Structure 1
């Protein structure tokens, strides 16, 4: 008997293994080339729409025959007959329940809005909903269970799922963001595309959407889903009477003071008109702040002023819409405001109110710029599961049992937001309180310092692990969530939230795997799941591992690219979502390469100046710097790839990364280097030596000296008072010049405190002479904030002795200032350097000062300090 050649044998084994692997993927799956969707004889309008939806979604990926009717036909071959609907409307469904002794659908099994998806035999599938929405969710689960091939679908031969949502309220907002339209330059969605977004989230489990009256309201209701309306209790941008103006927390216009009788009467009249014209919303939300509210003394505590006004409005609304449930949010309220509402609710039954809403700025145990002014420090004594859940638990404890807690979580921004990157450490609140050390992990999560220069707050991103943690910490205290979404860039986050509201016990790995299979198909799913987890890691600033050293950026690119190759044509041809993930991959890799190149040029320049500090060497350094922003062939290819993908995703679904249009940046402070080199060329003697030493050995204070790099996450061991600067508003590129080195852009600050940023030095040489060098810069403010920002200067004191009196800080671009320390001040081996705010800063009435603080006011500000031993 002849034996096969070894090479041929190996090839055959490899082929057998591959075929076995492919076959194994389909083991337990039945193939069908035809689907009959059978409705009940008494099927309602929602059941019929759901059946058509099922047909349309199947045909998007498989060219098979799909029929919808109220009587089964004689399907040929491997036809799958789906008995879809509510059993009471569907005699054929009832017959199958009886024949197979299937337990009926009840309020406990599966529960409200639940369904049963059960395969009876090779060709029969039950998709029974306990109600109209249950039918819709049964279709959603069926679509997730299917495997699509061009001319067939595959379904598990054994399938039995009886399930219902865990939370009563499961919703979100929808639509394109202004950032997508203005910065990413996308086309407008069609009406059909907007409807598709709504149905995508509904198929994932959503049951309510924030919507205005109009076509989308009617569309949402046509599928048996719920709607939410909203009203700002003191919102009146049309007001022209200055005596009515509110003192909003950051000074925004367009709000009236409810304590002005005429203004209150106007708002009630305005609301009556709204109530008359409004549709029958299932829920109506009154938001208290962000923006809105009034900080004036007449309204204090504003929580009580607000809730009394909302009660009057609720009574008006219930005249026209008695079934609508009312809730409010306590956004940006302080402790006294919340306590006033607790007292009001406990005073007597408030039957008009359904729930307390919890949104951005509602949390009294976390610090976010521009939000809460006071915090519940008493709740930190025993942290339990951590800071996120402490205040929801307290609300449910203090609030009467008749009321519910409903969430309005913000999962749409990747930075400067409720559960996003805070961007910088928290500043002290009005009482001077800061979070305890054990709660600092949520503030130490920071965005990658280079990626944040390119991407807007509303950029495309996915955060599985962080948001799974937030969900787990928060949602156990409420009845559900209607998340805040400002566009379609948060696609994964919103989809995951709906799935967790259905099944909060699902692991983050399971949710990501399901998402990847649902949106990219089973072949690409494992790689896309891995890529999504990697993306979350890439976005975060990792101490000791700057962007050029993050291997995950390239691996994310490779994972998404490989997943795209694995997707069959029926998945890839119109997959706008994969193109968004791939755009992100190409752009992140481009940024990484550009930062690497700029950093390499900086290193080469430093080495050149170190070896050749003459004017000739400095001139060569300037020529070298001119190459820092040149694109390599790889970078050019990545940019072209991102452009192509963006044009495709825009054409397919009106979506694209805005980052493509914002790639030109001075990531590392090249402009500072350029200025320093030119200064060194013009200088002589000791001044020249100092300028060159800052180029070649920037942080080194010399023997016996000290260096403090102030700002979040930096080493500032000698700082004893002050906190990292948070800019007081969403970080804007214009606030500080990118020409500053990263260490110059970050800083410590104080607000209206009498003590400014303070450094204390010990163990100094009592016989030595010292001097200090400081880096100072002040930010530019948007017009709406600039009117109250009079701070431009500060004084510097050494052991109480003035070194600089009202020294003006440079605007946007930093500079150095050096001062000699009198020898007598260091004779005891210690020294205190304190910065002091100008006398005219943070003065005025309480409201004025609070608005100044809330919109980013600073009293003292400093980026770096060198204590240099002469």
Structure 2
């Protein structure tokens, strides 16, 4: 399709939904003389319009009366400069509160009015106008029906922008890029930015950094101050000792340096752990000392804390909440974030009503996270990994609205630009939880891509989220999503093709389609190898094994869709050049598991590594009969025998056996319900950043061991069977794999003990007899419990075999 015709048709379709007026030649007039109120709001309006339309909107020193379009800006407390008719129309709009604004278009005079409750209201009014205008080269229009009055529901609305190597892009940002990104977040209602000190659980520097961290955080604080935003700092306790006087003085000296460096600091958030675990008595005593230093440089600043701890105990929580409720003068509130065991509704009950709770939602990770993608396909977990480009607009709204009522708002946990869409959706929900997601996406697309892409990009982002839902093998929408993005790509201007946000959507569309096609191809390759092995005959095992190996090797010797693969690498290179996105380790300098999902583009999606390893071992056997026996065992690994049951709890077809008493919609963080987990064998407390088919002393393992059912902390994991033979006895084989090394006990619903507490993570397979009385009624529910302080129960496979 001709590009000009494509754009014309899109604009024609869009014009049918709302009448607009042309304000291309607008001027700006404001009756506000206080620079602390205007700050940079007028400048933002002028600059963002010029970027998109090449038009200059001058600032007038008096209200125009020549009949040409203009934008009038005022505080609600002083509308005297506006005509009586305008004042009357503005006053008819609903009342607004702090940070709120009124936005009104007067079609007959081609005038637009932004009326703020206060300085921030002016900023957010400018942001909403920019979001609603249609701006293209030399043309700016605005809907004639635009008339609204709105105020934020929650007073805290922001995002963490950490300048450290662990992030997948922020450490490559320049000062100018931080300025623009903070500005764009503010246009969607953000009023807080959380920065990080130079010393965290990370390297001190990276090859990408344009400035030393101590200088960049000073710049971040300056930028926020100029925009009139709040500055928070996430400051973990990374010292070696918080009781010894010498260690304390060393830590305080560092706080003096950091707090004196930033020109503004409104709040400091100190996590209880992850990292920096401290006992509550030690932590709160230390925070009291830190508060003295904080107050010296920022007298109004408060300290917030979170009950984040990997291995919590009742004693720890009792002490923590006892301190929280003591009303320390420096104390700001409680933060609810990742690795907080107690649901936020319960926290609200145990702390004093006047103490605020701030959400710290993880919007950046796909699994091993506070809010993982529910029932994610293993192929995606292996390839996209934990920290890919991940627009999840509808999930984010669902998560936000399930828990928002318990807090005063949110500052999200973000590790880079991969969660860009999620940030804007979350800020809009903190402003108004009733905001439809599609409206945020339309604003996002209109502002960052252009009016002709409003609907295509908005729907394209929804399509990318839908790509992640359900089994990948049967998700035919993945190919349609790519078609949508390819159509936009084929008709895009050179400018749009270089737009990092467009490229982030495009790379995901290609990557998802490539992964699905590989999954289909490699699954068929695996089945071909198994079919060959099924036909093995006595005396032919070695030749049969070789043919099966040759079949399995097809996946990498004759790969499919090389053009899609090259496209992904080209887009990754472009994103690195433009915004410092680090999608590979060797070429782009990413940290492992921190956004480098393109490194996983060729990871095997079938059981080839395991099968090849097993076949090589079988080949070495000197006895033909033994080789045939081992081949048969390999092919029938999951066979539970006649009348038996086999389940893999990472598979959708087995999940119905997992008992869930609270829905995902009500418990997105799985603090009261089971979730899908990923991992094989883990030694220690390291993050599972990439899902690989190795574990348990490095052996190559079956692919199914990478995905399991799990619960967090001491929440019981329950798995129920019915339609058992009440006359039979059963023997149970279980594979315990996963990210955690937990001590677990297994009982049944009638009180029978299958096994007492045992340590998992040291071997994968266990076998036990099931007491006949436990299944005498043809039903049984197995119940796993962890000991206190453990991180959770996890079960991968069960064989129930008739004895």
Which TM class, normalised by the smaller chain length?
Answer: 0.7 to 0.9
Show the counterpart of 2:782.
Answer: none
Deviation at 1:587, TM superposition (A): 0.9
For each residue in 1:176-212, what CA deviation from the matched residue of structure 2 results, as whole angstroms up to 9, or x when unmatched? Answer: 774665xx9x992222111111111011101111136
Residues 180 and 655, structure 1, Cα contact 8 Å, conserved in 2? no
Quote how far apart the aligned CAs of 1:280 are: 3.9
Indicate the residue corresponding to 1:321 in structure 2: 298
Q: Which runs of 5+ in 1 are unaligned?
A: 1-13, 237-254, 295-301, 366-390, 422-444, 792-799, 831-841, 843-848
Separation (CA, whole Å) in 2 of partners of 1:807 and 1:207: 47
Q: State the aligned residue count.
A: 721
* Alignment partner of 1:502 is 2:431: yes
- In the TM superposition, 1:437-476 aligns within 5 A as 445-476=374-405
1:609 matched to 2:528:
no
1:137 maps onto 2:124 in alignment: yes
The CA RMSD measured in Å over matched residues stands at 4.9
- The residue matched to 1:109 in structure 2 has which SS? coil
Aligned pair partner of 2:226 in 222, 242, 256: 222
In 2, distance between residues paired with 1:808 and 1:168? 45
Q: 1:795-814 alignment to 2 at 5 Å?
A: none
Work out whether residues 33 and 65 of structure 1, in 8 Å CA contact, stay in contact via their aligned partners in 2. no
Kindly indicate whether the alpha-carbon contact (under 8 Å) linking 2:124 and 2:188 is maintained by their aligned counterparts in 1: yes
- Give the Cα–Cα distance (whole angstroms) in 2 for the partners of residues 139 and 717 of structure 1: 50
2:157 and 2:191 in contact (8 A); partners too: yes
Change (3 A) 1:405 1:318: same
> Contact between 2:387 and 2:597, CA under 8 Å: does it hold in 1?
no
Change (3 A) 1:660 1:708: closer
Q: Matched residues in 1 for 2:441 and 2:711: separation? A: 42
Pair 749,202 (structure 1): closer, same or farther in 2 beyond 3 Å: closer
| 1:710/1:747 contact within 8 Å kept | yes
Counterpart for residue 104 of structure 2: 118
Which of residues 282, 295, 312 is equivalent to 2:266?
Answer: 282
Select the residue among 634, 638, 643 that pairs with 2:564.
638
2:409 is equivalent to residue 480 of structure 1 = yes
Aligned partner of residue 356 in structure 1, secondary structure: strand
**Residue by residue, what CA displacement relative to the aligned partner does 1:515-570 show, whole Å, maximum 9, x if unpaired?**
33333334333333333333333324x3xx4x222112212212222344565666
In the other structure, the counterpart of 1:516 is 445
Q: Which residue of 2 aligns with 1:209?
A: 193
* 2:515 aligned to which of 584, 591, 601: 591
Q: Tell me how far apart the structure 1 counterparts of residues 227 and 60 of structure 2 sit (CA, whole Å).
A: 19
1:730 equivalent in structure 2: 687
Give the C-alpha shift of residue 503 in structure 1: 1.2
Deviation at 1:307, TM superposition (A): 2.9
Partners of 2:706 and 2:737 within 8 A in 1 = no
Q: How does 1:432-831 map to 2 (within 5 A)?
A: 445-540=374-469, 542=470, 545=471, 547-565=472-490, 572-613=496-537, 614-615=540-541, 616-632=543-559, 635-655=561-581, 657=583, 658-681=596-619, 682=621, 684=623, 686-704=625-643, 706-707=645-646, 709=648, 715=654, 727=682, 729-731=686-688, 732-733=690-691, 736=695, 739-746=700-707
Q: Does 1:354 align with 2:358?
A: no
User: Which residue does the alignment assign to 1:188?
Assistant: 172
Rounded to whole Å, the distance in 1 between the matches of 2:14 and 2:577 is: 36
CA offset at residue 632 of structure 1? Answer: 4.8
Query: TM-score, length-normalised on structure 2?
Result: 0.76
1:504 deviates by: 1.5
User: Is this contact kept in 2: 1:719–1:760, CA < 8 A?
Assistant: no
Q: Residue 238 of structure 2 is aligned with which of 229, 235, 239?
A: 235
In structure 2, C-alpha distance between the alignment counterparts of 1:868 and 1:685, rounded to whole Å: 30
Call closer, same or farther: CA 1:449–1:809 in 2, change over 3 Å: closer
Paired position in structure 2 for 1:438:
none
Is the Cα–Cα contact under 8 Å of residues 525 and 563 in structure 1 kept in the other structure? Answer: no
Q: Measured at CA, do residues 685 and 152 of structure 1 come closer, stay the same or move farther in structure 2, by a change above 3 Å? A: same
Work out the CA distance in 1 between the residues paired with 2:518 and 2:227: 49
Match of 2:363 in 1: 411
Residue number among 65, 74, 84 corresponding to 2:73 in the alignment: 84
Question: Is the Cα contact below 8 Å between 2:646 and 2:800 reproduced in 1?
Answer: yes
Unaligned runs of 5+ in 2: 198-216, 584-595, 660-673, 744-751, 777-785
Verify the 8 A CA contact 1:282 1:324 in the aligned structure 2: yes
1:828 and 1:143 mapped to 2: Cα distance? 66
* TM-score, normalization by structure 1: 0.71
After superposition, the Cα gap between the structure-2 partners of 1:94 and 1:482, relative to the gap in structure 1 and judged at 3 Å, is: same
Deviations 1:455-486 (A, max 9, x none): 23221102222221221121112222111111
Tell me, yes or no, if structure 1 residue 149 matches structure 2 residue 136: yes
Aligned pairs for 1:262-341 (under 5 A) are 263=247, 267=251, 271=255, 279-294=263-278, 302-332=279-309, 334-341=313-320
CA-to-partner distance for each residue in 1:582-639, whole Å, 9 max, x for gaps? 1011111111111211111111122233335434433322222221224555x11111
Counterpart CA distance in 1 for 2:657 and 2:624 is 31
Assess, with a 3 A threshold, how the Cα gap between structure 1 residues 771 and 691 changes in structure 2: closer, same or farther.
Answer: farther
Q: Contact (CA 8 Å) 1:173, 1:482: kept in 2 or not?
A: yes
Distance 1:756 1:514 in 2: 42
Moved more, 574-583 or 602-611: 602-611
Distance 1:98 1:608 in 2: 87
Rg: which structure is higher? 1
**Does the Cα contact within 8 Å between 1:707 and 1:716 map onto a contact in 2?**
no
Q: Distance in 2 between matches of 1:35 and 1:719?
A: 61
Cα distance in 1 for residues equivalent to 2:62 and 2:322 = 60
- 523-532 or 660-669, larger mean C-alpha shift: 523-532
- Quote how far apart the aligned CAs of 1:355 are: 2.0
